[in-house]
Amino acid sequence: MRVTRRRFVQGAAAASAVVAGRRFLFGELGVVAEAVSPQATLSLVEDFVPTACWVGKQDCGMMARRIDGRVVKFEGLAANPSNRGTLCPKGQAQIVSIYDPNRVKAPLIRTNAKGVSGTWREASWDEALRLVADRVNEVRARNPKMVLWQKGRSKSEKLYDDAFVGALGCSKLGHGGYCSDAGYRALEYTIGLHGVQHPDMRHVNYLLAWGWNITNAGGNKFCWITWPQQLVEARDRGLKIVHIDPRLRSAGPFADMWLPIRPGTDLALALALCRELIELDYLDRPYLIKYTNAPYLVGEDGLFLRVGEGDEAVAAVWDPETAAPVAAGTFEYRGASYATAFTLFREHIAGSTPEWAAEITGLPAGDIARVAREFGENAMIGSVTVVDGIEIPHRPVAIMSYHMAQQELGFQALRAMTMVAMLVGAVGAVGGQLTDFTWKVHANYEAFATLKVGDPPYDFTLKNSKYFPINTGLPGIVAKVMVDPGRYGVEEIPEVAIVHMTNPVVAYPDRKTIMEGYDRFRFVAVISPWLSETADYYADVVLPAATIEKYEGPLSASDGYVDAVTVRIPPMEPLFQSRGEIDIYLDLTEAIGTLYGEGGYIDRINESLGLEGELALPLDVKPPVRDIFDHWAQTQGVEGVSYFAENGVLVKGAIPAAKKYGYAVEPPFAGAIHRLYGESLLVAQQAMRQKGAEEIYWQDYTPFPTWRRPTFDTSPSEYDLTLISFKQIEHKQSRSSFMPLLAELAPRARLDINPVTAAERGIAEGDPVWVESQNALSGETRRVRTWAAITAAIRPDTVGMPHHFGMWAHPVNEGQGPSPNEIAYTGEGYLCQTADQSFHVKVRVYPDTENT
């Protein structure tokens, strides 16, 4: 039946009468007057547009459902391999915050002094960008490196980290030092790949979930949906999981065995596992001999025996007597004594028995021995399988580890854990230990062969310094340097900061140090959809960023087995006066004067996106952002952004075995020899000592991972509990606790505490408690007040706090409680040797009797 205008009006009138009548009889008395508006019923058009999630890490594919152009719900995009049509609670909940009236509506310029809550005046984009450009140019004229671009999550590395930073010539700092970069450095050093550790999920049979927060957080490379999807399928196949973590809650029902390890002792456990594997002879000798430096001959000076001259010198592996490579043995050569690296390793860990590790880790020795044995058994050493027609060794055992690398011994712990996989030959095997989607060796592998230990003056990140020869680049260190550059041999500190999708004052430990650092910036511009706490206290200018209403990308949509790409397409116009970051950077570089021409932003975009020839953007025209992606899409073989608007994602096909598995790559492992023995670490240590660095910096630069008691653990005994922090699935770092739907699920901070521990302190469920931390080196103490959550799924000597709270700038944040970053410490004693943050600290917990 066609709805004619007259019929419609008649119907609407009739409907109104009926509705009014019904309402009178059966509804509230007050609503008789509320007529049914004809407009509201006339044009409700529904459509779906593909886009990508903004809240989390990995830009899950979404479909935005729109009614009359207004986005009303997000659902998963089925074709996207990384989330396959589903969304996590944050993905579902972000709809609220898009329309949040507390979003920054216009560019803001500060009107009061910094270091306290800000008062602002609204400004036009022109004025705000002009102000930022002027301040940036002032500093660029002297030294562009003194402009610092600080990012948290970069959802378009090519356009931000590469092109924008390149166009400005400025310094950049990421968040990796708080993420998992100690692990990245360890894997880059040991096997050359850029990542931490994950299993070949489709084929693994026995998995050590080492600090993997299965039910709440992502793992190596992926955010949260992709791994659990693969995990449950693996469980259907019969995958066994050993969960190594002070908290069981993170594994939920998926742990077949729980090793409740004491925080910070993972290195000891790994060494014990290695020792057991060697003891039980679970060794993949062909792999060790051919693809690692295990057979290299090491002299008494700790250096490799090299034959040949100068650049041609290679480390020697052969037994000079028999000219055959061996894994274990000691030899005499030219009057000097040499042992193979493997022999030295075996000696090094001879005392790392399960009993020894049990003492340190708090785990039963029997369990440690059992895990080692089962790991070795399940490794099926010697077996091969065929994938994509290639014969590849089959070792279905592996480790998943990620953020737990951020501890004082993290770098060496990850090396030791990698060695566990190396001993059985699982690295790069089918079902075994992977680190990245494809077996690409990172530049750091070569760079780490000769670690540069330079002389002052040092860069403000202390790169190549005697403090951190391997240096992830940590904002906490930079803050300490900015406060006391002389102490670190630094002469120039950054003056201008551009802060992109991160909230250092809340998200980076420790708050006091970070604030002291930000105090010293002469000018800070923050790009954020909401007024972040960093902006509140330290921004001179706040530029309102759009959330999902922008083009952004390219975004990976891979699941590790299938390669795919996508781009974020705005499902609606930006709200208020917000803009996408690419838009902002186009205008900002224009104002700065580095948009056009050679080496400008457009030029660098062409470079980083691979836009050549006809596809290159002209260097003298400011492109609409969509055009950039249109060009990029063509490099991917499709006609433009319209392809993505139609299909949501471009699936490029399966990642072939020849690219995925280290053994199958040509040459195997991309030619990188796996470093069982870290010779360059020893060399670096010698250089650090020679240049006068204190022991705390060089003590862990040892060729083999060596256990020592972590510094944090030396706090006085009344600080008898270890504080760890953890992630909740409901929240994403510091950008979600003010979202009402998520705040409803997880409304405030808490302290996870064991029932026995709580009872000893007279603490009941929900009681307010003080958590007081102590810095083992400086003696400083700090405390925060939170609420106890009693759970038997945590060690009695450990307590945990989620790290999503401690914010104040948004009304919803009120009463949410603190962040553990407020009582954490950064700097010496709370850092890994690679300038990665350690998140462990000793605390004492007691009921709050002061505020009843």
Angle at 244 between CA 238 and CA 249, to 5 degrees: 85
Instruction: Tell which positions 758-797 bind other proteins, by CB under 8 A.
Output: 789, 791-796
Q: Is 310 in the site for other proteins (CB under 8 A)?
A: no
Residue 170 — left, alpha, or beta (φ > 0 → left; ψ -120 to 50 → alpha)? beta
Instruction: Tell which positions 49-88 bind other proteins, by CB under 8 A.
Output: 67-70, 72-76, 83, 85-88
Contact pattern from residue 570 through residue 609 relative to other proteins, giving x for each residue in contact according to CB under 8 A and a dash for the rest: -----xx---------------------------------
Q: Is 16 in the site for other proteins (CB under 8 A)?
A: no
Instruction: Tell which positions 791-850 bind other proteins, by CB under 8 A.
Output: 791-796
Of 798, 797, 773, 801, nearest in space to 787 by CA: 801
Q: Is 11 in the site for other proteins (CB under 8 A)?
A: no
CB of 249 to other proteins, least distance (A): 6
Of 482, 611, 589, 467, nearest in space to 538 by CA: 482
CB of 531 to other proteins, least distance (A): 14
> What's the number of CA atoms in the CB half-sphere (13 Å) around residue 189?
33
Query: 573: how many CB neighbours lie within 10 A of its CB?
Result: 9
Query: Quick one: 232 or 443, whose CB is closer to other proteins?
Result: 232
DSSP label at 394?
B
Query: Quick one: 167 or 209, whose CB is closer to other proteins?
Result: 209
CB of 433 to other proteins, least distance (A): 24
CB of 94 to other proteins, least distance (A): 10
Of 624, 598, 630, nearest in space to 611 by CA: 630
Q: Is 368 in the site for other proteins (CB under 8 A)?
A: no
Out of 4, 9, 17, 22, the residue judged to bind other proteins by CB under 8 A = 22
Q: Do residues 185 and 834 lie in contact, with contact meaning Cβ atoms separated by under 8 Å?
A: yes
Instruction: Tell which positions 635-664 bind other proteins, by CB under 8 A.
Output: none
CB of 4 to other proteins, least distance (A): 20
Query: Quick one: 319 or 797, whose CB is closer to other proteins?
Result: 797
Query: 122: how many CB neighbours lie within 10 A of its CB?
Result: 13
Instruction: Tell which positions 137-166 bind other proteins, by CB under 8 A.
Output: none
Look at the alpha carbons of 355, 360, 362, 367 in this order and tell me if their dihedral is positive or negative. negative
Q: Is 106 in the site for other proteins (CB under 8 A)?
A: no
Measure the CA dihedral 567/573/575/578, to 10°.
Answer: 60
Residue 248 to residues 226, 275, 423, 670, Cα–Cα distance (Å)? 21, 26, 28, 38
Query: 616: how many CB neighbours lie within 10 A of its CB?
Result: 16
Q: Do residues 742 and 791 lie in contact, with contact meaning Cβ atoms separated by under 8 Å?
A: no
Query: Quick one: 756 or 764, whose CB is closer to other proteins?
Result: 756
Instruction: Tell which positions 700-759 bind other proteins, by CB under 8 A.
Output: 729-730, 740-741, 744-747, 754-756
Residue 760 to residues 413, 592, 753, 755, 843, Cα–Cα distance (Å)? 33, 61, 11, 9, 15
Q: How far is CA 759 from the centre of its chain?
A: 36
Query: Quick one: 684 or 763, whose CB is closer to other proteins?
Result: 763
Residue 259 — left, alpha, or beta (φ > 0 → left; ψ -120 to 50 → alpha)? beta
3-state secondary structure of 193: strand
Out of 1, 101, 487, 851, the residue judged to bind other proteins by CB under 8 A = 101
| Separation between Cα atoms, residue 820 and residue 485, nearest integer Å | 27
Query: Quick one: 556 or 636, whose CB is closer to other proteins?
Result: 556
Neighbour order of strands in the sheet with 70-76: 46-52, 61-67, 70-76
Q: Is 354 in the site for other proteins (CB under 8 A)?
A: no
Out of 156, 171, 197, 229, the residue judged to bind other proteins by CB under 8 A = 229
DSSP label at 161?
I
Query: Quick one: 163 or 251, whose CB is closer to other proteins?
Result: 251
Instruction: Tell which positions 32-51 bind other proteins, by CB under 8 A.
Output: 37, 40, 44
Q: Are strands 330-333 and 336-340 parallel, antiparallel or unpaired?
A: antiparallel
Size of the site for other proteins (CB under 8 A): 71
Q: Is 99 in the site for other proteins (CB under 8 A)?
A: yes
Query: Quick one: 654 or 792, whose CB is closer to other proteins?
Result: 792
Angle at 114 between CA 108 and CA 115, to 5 degrees: 130
Q: Is 289 in the site for other proteins (CB under 8 A)?
A: no
Query: Quick one: 235 or 708, whose CB is closer to other proteins?
Result: 235
Query: 374: how many CB neighbours lie within 10 A of its CB?
Result: 16
Q: Do residues 574 and 105 lie in contact, with contact meaning Cβ atoms separated by under 8 Å?
A: no
Query: 572: how many CB neighbours lie within 10 A of its CB?
Result: 17
Q: Is 329 in the site for other proteins (CB under 8 A)?
A: no
Q: Is 410 in the site for other proteins (CB under 8 A)?
A: no
Out of 2, 3, 26, 238, the residue judged to bind other proteins by CB under 8 A = 26
Cis peptide before 246 (omega within 30 of 0): no
**Tokens 């009463």 belong to residue:** 815
Query: Quick one: 255 or 611, whose CB is closer to other proteins?
Result: 255
CB of 226 to other proteins, least distance (A): 9
| Separation between Cα atoms, residue 701 and residue 705, nearest integer Å | 9
Out of 20, 35, 49, 96, the residue judged to bind other proteins by CB under 8 A = 96
3-state secondary structure of 572: coil
Q: How far is CA 476 from the centre of its chain?
A: 16
Q: Which residues neighbour 694 within 8 Å (Cβ) at sequence distance 6 or greater?
A: 828
Helix pair angle (410-423, 181-190), 10° resolution: 50
CB of 307 to other proteins, least distance (A): 53
* Stretch touching other proteins by CB under 8 A, among 222-230, 445-453, 539-547, 588-596: 222-230
CB of 262 to other proteins, least distance (A): 12
Query: Quick one: 221 or 675, whose CB is closer to other proteins?
Result: 221
Query: Quick one: 73 or 142, whose CB is closer to other proteins?
Result: 73
3-state secondary structure of 68: coil
Query: Quick one: 74 or 770, whose CB is closer to other proteins?
Result: 74
Query: Quick one: 379 or 557, whose CB is closer to other proteins?
Result: 557
Contact pattern from residue 230 through residue 269 relative to other proteins, giving x for each residue in contact according to CB under 8 A and a dash for the rest: -xx--x------------xx-xxxx---x-x---------
Q: Which amino acid is at 18?
A: V
Angle at 58 between CA 53 and CA 64, to 5 degrees: 15
Cis peptide before 457 (omega within 30 of 0): yes
CB of 124 to other proteins, least distance (A): 19
CB of 48 to other proteins, least distance (A): 12
Query: Quick one: 602 or 789, whose CB is closer to other proteins?
Result: 789
CB of 811 to other proteins, least distance (A): 11
Query: Quick one: 19 or 616, whose CB is closer to other proteins?
Result: 19
Q: Which two tokens stand for residue 72?
A: 């009303």
Q: Which amino acid is at 37?
A: S
Q: Is 20 in the site for other proteins (CB under 8 A)?
A: no
CB of 34 to other proteins, least distance (A): 9
Q: Is 115 in the site for other proteins (CB under 8 A)?
A: no
| Separation between Cα atoms, residue 678 and residue 689, nearest integer Å | 17
Out of 218, 228, 431, 475, the residue judged to bind other proteins by CB under 8 A = 228
Instruction: Tell which positions 181-220 bind other proteins, by CB under 8 A.
Output: 214-216
Q: Is 332 in the site for other proteins (CB under 8 A)?
A: no
CB of 713 to other proteins, least distance (A): 21
CB of 38 to other proteins, least distance (A): 13
* Stretch touching other proteins by CB under 8 A, among 224-232, 491-499, 673-681, 839-847: 224-232
Of 120, 107, 61, 51, nearest in space to 88 by CA: 61
Query: Quick one: 615 or 745, whose CB is closer to other proteins?
Result: 745
